[in-house]
Amino acid sequence: MKVKVDWDLCEANAVCMDVAPALYTVDDEDNFHHLVQGEQDDISGDVPGDQVDRAKEAVRLCPRQALAIIE
Amino acid sequence: MVDVDIAYLDSRNWEEEAMLERMRWLRQHDPVRWSEKDGLWIISHFADVVTASKDQATFTSGLGVRPGNDVKIGLIDEEEPRHGQLRGMINKGFSPRMVKILEETFRKITDEAIDAVATKGECEFVTDIAVPLPLRLIAAMIGIREGDYDKFHHWSDTMIAADGNMDDPETMARAGQSYLEYATYVTPIIEDRRKNPKDDLVSILARAKDSGLLKEYDEAGPAGDAVGNSDLQNDELIKLMVILMIAGNETTRNGISGGMQLLIENPEARQRLIDDASLIPNAVEEMVRIVTPVRSFGRTATCDAELGGQKIKAGQKILLLYTSANRDERQFDEPDRFDIDRDPHHLGFGIGNHFCLGANLARMEMRVAFQEILRRLPDMEYAKEGPVLKPSALVRTCAEMKLLFTPEA
């Protein structure tokens, strides 16, 4: 499972970072980053099995619905 | 059994224990209930509050979020896509980056407030701690000069008093007067930031206005008659600065008061936080869940819809009870228990497009406040009786809480 961020929607509420600190971070300039990196900046690498529930929870809770599960 | 056939919009009915019992009954027997006295649906399950909050297309905020009060507030009752555009810009003033900058200021404010009472061995927690902390930070963010904080406090209180008192001409006149004074005060600050932008909230708002995103309303505002100054009245930037002032005050103030109450009533949890301050952020989430400073907001159905098995008709309003959702047995084990180890996902800041803009700021404020309180005055206890609560359908309000503690040497 991979997660894609829509940069146009993300406004750095940082809810994802609270829910899944191992997967997402919002840096000092308010930019979102996947911590499990994939080949493209906006799409994560494969989410580790023990983090799948948290990844889904972050997608569900994002206030702007800027995260989406792909594959 | 407690009477569930009451007006949920009437603040007088929000005596806390009775309301919590009523919500337990609603969740078990009638989670999407038509309230005859309010003329709207009462939503009490966590899952249904989430569903409605995330579906703005069906359950819009754009037709008001305080049923019974049709005055446009701004932002919070704005429709998409404009809400998203406004928010995308204003949010920059409350982002993790900005909150980090504000933390140092807030810690200083907290320490000064504690300094003022620390050697006395007693305080009235609401007036001495819970009120000045968020108030001074939002004042600093708006650019209020330190000598004018009392004035700012007065403006804030008199404007807040207007909520739910639209039929009282004296209260409304005072609110109108305060609006005018506040608007007059902040106008040169806005002009200054327009010419000399800084890295702050007012500069962000000034930029939003110059870009044409903020508008002049063409209708008369709530206090139009009392003020008679439609230029200021209809300036969306100034209206936003009023909302930010009020939202930045009442909510965090009562989060801090309610949190303090939970610490006093749960001494084991408090001791763990004193011993290990790294547990405080999670404890703050649990405080926000149990206290739920913002108790309810409304939505309006834009089409015929279904929610929790009930048919909602187009045009009907629903009232989302965050207080109930946050104590829903389907979501939380032993929901009335203050458990600082709990997985803390609650609806204290709402969810979806209108998720609390100030959540990052509020979390930082509560974390720093309790870090300092627990470090410096770890043994606060009720002086005599517990807190004095003021019933409100909107904000869980602690009016007074007298405390005793070992004075600082």
At B161-175, the pLDDT tens digits run 876 677 789 988 999
Name the percent of chain A in helix, strand, coil, to the closest 5.
25, 25, 50
Q: With respect to residue B195, please indicate whether it lies within any of the assigned structural domains.
A: yes
Q: With respect to residue B377, please indicate whether it lies within any of the assigned structural domains.
A: yes
ipTM: 0.83
Asked whether B405 and B382 are in contact (CB, 8 A), the reply is: no
Three-class DSSP labels, B47-99: HHHHHHHHCCCCEECCCCCCCCCCCCCCCCCCCCCHHHHHHHHHHHHHCHHHH
CA B354 to chain centroid = 13
What is the average pLDDT across B193-200?
A: 92
CATH number at residue B380: 1.10.630.10
Is the predicted pLDDT of residue B228 greater than 70, yes or no? no
Beta bridge partners of A67: A5
Q: Quote the CA–CA distance of B220 and B230 in Å, as a whole number.
A: 7
Contacts of B92 (CB under 8 A, 6+ apart): A30, B98, B204
Is the predicted pLDDT of residue B32 greater than 80, yes or no? yes
Q: Sheet of B381-382: strands edge to edge?
A: B122-124, B402-404, B381-382
What was the pLDDT predicted at B218? 52
Q: With respect to residue B254, please indicate whether it lies within any of the assigned structural domains.
A: yes
What was the pLDDT predicted at B220? 47
Number of domains in chain B: 1
Window from A35-39, B290-294, B324-328 with minimum mean pLDDT: A35-39
What was the pLDDT predicted at B1? 76
Q: With respect to residue B409, please indicate whether it lies within any of the assigned structural domains.
A: no
Q: Which of B219, B329, B344, B324 is nearest to B280 (CA)?
A: B344
CA B314 to chain centroid = 29
What is the average pLDDT across B52-72?
A: 89
Q: With respect to residue B5, please indicate whether it lies within any of the assigned structural domains.
A: no
Interchain contact, B87 vs A11, CB within 8 Å: yes
What was the pLDDT predicted at A28? 83
What is the average pLDDT across B359-385?
A: 96
> What's the CATH code, domain A2-70?
3.30.70.20
Q: With respect to residue B18, please indicate whether it lies within any of the assigned structural domains.
A: yes
Q: Quote the CA–CA distance of B250 and B246 in Å, as a whole number.
A: 6
Q: With respect to residue B110, please indicate whether it lies within any of the assigned structural domains.
A: yes
What is the average pLDDT across A12-37?
A: 91
What was the pLDDT predicted at A11? 86
Parallel, antiparallel, or unpaired for β B317-321 and B40-43?
A: parallel
- Tell me the residues of chain B between 77 and 96 that have a Cβ less than 8 Å away from chain A: 84, 87-88, 91-92, 95-96
Burial B40-72 (b: 16+ CB within 10 A, else e): bbbbbbbebbbbbbbbbebbbbbbbbbbbeeee
Using pLDDT thresholds of 50, 70 and 90, give the confidence band for residue B344. Answer: confident
A18 secondary structure, DSSP code: H
Q: Quote the CA–CA distance of B323 and B336 in Å, as a whole number.
A: 11
Say which amino acid occupies B29. Answer: H
High-pLDDT (> 90) share of chain B, %: 72
Asked whether B208 and B214 are in contact (CB, 8 A), the reply is: yes
Query: Cis omega before residue B81 (within 30°)?
Result: yes
What was the pLDDT predicted at B121? 97
Average pLDDT, chain B: 91
Q: Where are the domains of chain A?
A: 2-70
Q: Hey, what are B215's tokens? A: 């508008």
At B229-279, the pLDDT tens digits run 445 556 888 888 888 888 888 899 999 999 999 999 999 999 999 999 999
Place of tokens 């309180």: B373
Nearest residue, CB atoms, B95 vs list A12, A57, A61 = A12
Q: Hey, what are B158's tokens? A: 């008199």
High-pLDDT (> 70) share of chain B, %: 95
Does B199 reach chain A within 8 Å, measured CB to CB? no
DSSP secondary structure letters along B88-147: HHHGGGGSHHHHHHHHHHHHHHHHHHHHHHHTTSEEEHIIIIITHHHHHHHHHHHT--GG
Say which amino acid occupies A66. Answer: A
Q: Considering only alpha carbons, which residue of chain B is nearest residue A63? A: B352
Exposed / middle / buried, residue B18 (Cβ in 10 Å: 0-12, 13-18, 19+): middle
What was the pLDDT predicted at B224? 41
CA B397 to chain centroid = 10
Nearest residue, CB atoms, B360 vs list A14, A57, A64 = A14
Asked whether B7 and B38 are in contact (CB, 8 A), the reply is: yes
Calculated CA dihedral for residues B340, B343, B345, B347, nearest 10 degrees: -40
Interchain contact, A13 vs B355, CB within 8 Å: yes
CB pairs under 8 A between A and B: 42
Q: Considering only alpha carbons, which residue of chain B is nearest residue A26? A: B96
* B363 Cα to chain A: minimum distance (Å): 11
Task: Map residue B15 onto helix, strand or coil.
Answer: coil
Q: Which residues of A touch B96 (CB under 8 A)?
A: 12, 14, 17, 26, 28, 30
Q: Which of B371, B368, B365, B375 is nearest to B118 (CA)?
A: B375
Q: Hey, what are A66's tokens? A: 């800027």
- Residue B185's H or E segment, with its range, is helix B169-195
At B121-136, the pLDDT tens digits run 999 999 999 999 999 9
Interchain contact, B353 vs A63, CB within 8 Å: yes
Domain that includes residue B226, residue range: 11-404
At A30-65, the pLDDT tens digits run 899 999 999 999 999 999 999 999 999 999 889 888
Does B360 reach chain A within 8 Å, measured CB to CB? yes
Q: With respect to residue B3, please indicate whether it lies within any of the assigned structural domains.
A: no
What was the pLDDT predicted at B286? 98
Is the predicted pLDDT of residue B325 greater than 70, yes or no? yes
Q: Sheet of B59-60: strands edge to edge?
A: B32-35, B40-43, B317-321, B296-301, B59-60
